Amino acid sequence: MTELTAQSPVVARLRAYLAERFPLLSHGVLIVSYYSANQFLAQVLTDPGQRGLHMQPRALAGAIALFCVFFHLRVFDEHKDYAEDSHYHPQRILQRGLITLRHLKLLGAIAIALELVLSALIGWAPLVAVLLTLGFSLLMLKEFFIGAWLRQRFLLYSLSHMLIMPLMALQVFSFTTGRYPWQAPPWFWLYAFVGFFVTLNWEISRKIRAPEDELPGLASYSRSLGTFGAAYAVIAIRLIDTGMVYLVGWHLGLSPWFYAILAVLFLVCCYGLYDFRVHTSPRTAKRMETYAGMYIIAFDLTLAVELLRLHGLGGS
């Protein structure tokens, strides 16, 4: 494989950046599972008597817009954390100058433009939902104008930033139903906040390190909560989000296999904690992140498949 340099074709450099920081396949799977679950749930809750769920043409526009949201959040994070990443991760594509912040700024602007155009083509409600998500992401970029204070409170920092997840779910709701975010039923709001907790779980999981992996000056949850305290926090959050999904399933009258899969997913995460607790190492710490990522995709896919099984697929 040819070593990339600043003279390599920009497409090759961009491909390398995406593979490193925004893998298209894994994000594509995430969007499909996340969008499908929220889209079908929105249909079931707003029109309980309908015959068959619908894969609406507008769903493609909504999924692309959601994908663009994830990408522009990555661009915002790269700008926000550039100095710190340059110090701790100088080997990254961006930090080596193969892709620049200017490149990412252009791509982020294109992503935001797509979000606005696609939502405007669908209707006012999706446009308002996209504007709410975009507005909150801009506050995240500016770290709510209290960055110095917030960065000293690592957990609060993550809690504040994860609040964008319910807004993404409500964006899907608006694309699906044509209704404004605040018109979503209470049960949809509950599921929207499941996204907050599962993403918070993953965020903590990916910043748990074995003692030998801790870097001086680099924040981590294992440093702020203790090596095992952070791992226990992950399981506590997993109890909350699994319980919330269970309640949504109970309200919808889902089948026992749905709860069985939830139980298996929960037990896998518990095994990750046990493995890290007994065999503390960089490898077992990484596994906790892997299990948390698997849960994010699996629980959404499980709900989407179960709703399809119950209601069937109707026309467009």
pLDDT, tens only, 209-225: 988 888 888 888 888 88
Residue 122 has pLDDT above 80, yes or no: yes
Burial class of 121 by CB neighbour count within 10 A (0 to 12, 13 to 18, 19+) = exposed
Distance CA 117, CA 127 (A): 8
To the nearest whole number, what is the mean pLDDT of the chain? 93
Q: Which of 156, 178, 218 is nearest to 39 (CA)?
A: 178
C-beta separation of 56 from 176 below 8 A: yes
Number of C-alpha atoms within 13 angstroms, CB side, residue 83? Answer: 1
pTM (global) more than 0.85: yes
Chain centroid offset of residue 305 CA: 20
pLDDT of 116 higher than 60: yes
Angle (CA) 289 33 49, round 5°:
140
CATH topology of domain 11-182: Tetracycline Repressor; domain 2 (1.10.357)
C-alpha–C-alpha distance, residues 238 and 197, integer Å: 8
H or E stretch covering 213: none
User: Options 2.60.40, 1.10.3210, 1.20.120, 2.60.290; which CATH number does 185-316 get?
Assistant: 1.20.120
Domain ranges of the chain: 11-182, 185-316
Most confident of 47-61, 111-125, 268-282: 111-125
Q: Find the mean pLDDT for residues 29-46.
A: 95
Q: Is the pLDDT of residue 50 over 90?
A: no
Residue type, 129: A
Q: Under a CB-based contact definition with an 8 Å cutoff, are residues 174 and 180 in contact?
A: yes
Rounded-to-10 torsion of CA 210, 240, 132, 251: 150
Report which secondary-structure segment, H or E, holds 2: none
User: 96: buried, middle or exposed (CB in 10 Å: 19+, 13-18, 0-12)?
Assistant: middle
pLDDT per residue as tens digits for the range 267-316: 999 999 999 999 999 999 999 999 999 999 999 999 999 999 998 887 54
Q: No. of H helices and E strands in the chain?
A: 14, 0
